[in-house]
Amino acid sequence: MSGTGRPTAETPSAAGMRVAIAATRWNAAIVDTMVERAEAALAEAGGPPPLVVRVAGAVELPVICQQLARDHDAVVALGVVIRGGTPHFDYVCDAVTAGLTRVALDESTPVGNGVLTCDNEEQAVARSGRPGAQEDKGHEATIAAIDAAALLRDLRGQSRGGSQG
């Protein structure tokens, strides 16, 4: 687990933003903490409470995020995929990452990728944001999504003849 090079930026304002969180039901004990941390990040940024929806597993995240992206300024995808003894892990991780990227590009809506891809449960817990955890990926994915949404809002305002700041 690296964490090295993590940016130290100010928390962007999420005031007036519509944010949705799509979270998996697999590994619920870990994902529930990530959802709580994502909600806390949004509150710290001054945003209203997000819409939170649950999906069966990680493969279902992209299609649900795509629908959410149509009506929200930012979407956060949260889940945990733990390596097993077959190549299934690689297929799931590749499909989810490519799918979430495609959603963001196709819908022009930021999608914070907070899907943990870990070798074991201990690695996932260490990234979950629980007290004592080394990383807080639910919080980080939310801040990244609202930061991109704020920047897009500014850029779109400038391209429509708005002020240039």
Give the residue numbers of the binding site for 5-amino-6-(D-ribitylamino)uracil: 26, 58-60, 80-82, 113
Q: Which residues are annotated as a binding site for (2S)-2-hydroxy-3-oxobutyl phosphate?
A: 85-86, 127
Strand boundaries in 56-98, DSSP class E: 74-82
Catalytic (active site) residue 88: yes
Q: Of 29, 44, 70, 88, which one is the catalytic site residue?
A: 88
Q: Which residues are annotated as a binding site?
A: 26, 58-60, 80-82, 85-86, 113, 127
Residue 5 and residue 142: Cα distance in Å, rounded?
18
Give the max Cα distance, the chain: 55
Cβ-based neighbours of 139, under 8 Å, separated by 6 or more: 37, 38, 40, 41, 129
- Per-residue DSSP letters for 87-138? THHHHHHHHHHHHHHHHHHHHT--EEEEEEEESSHHHHHHHBT-TT-S-BHH
CA proximity to 52, closest of 20, 26, 78, 24? 20
Q: Which residues are catalytic?
A: 88
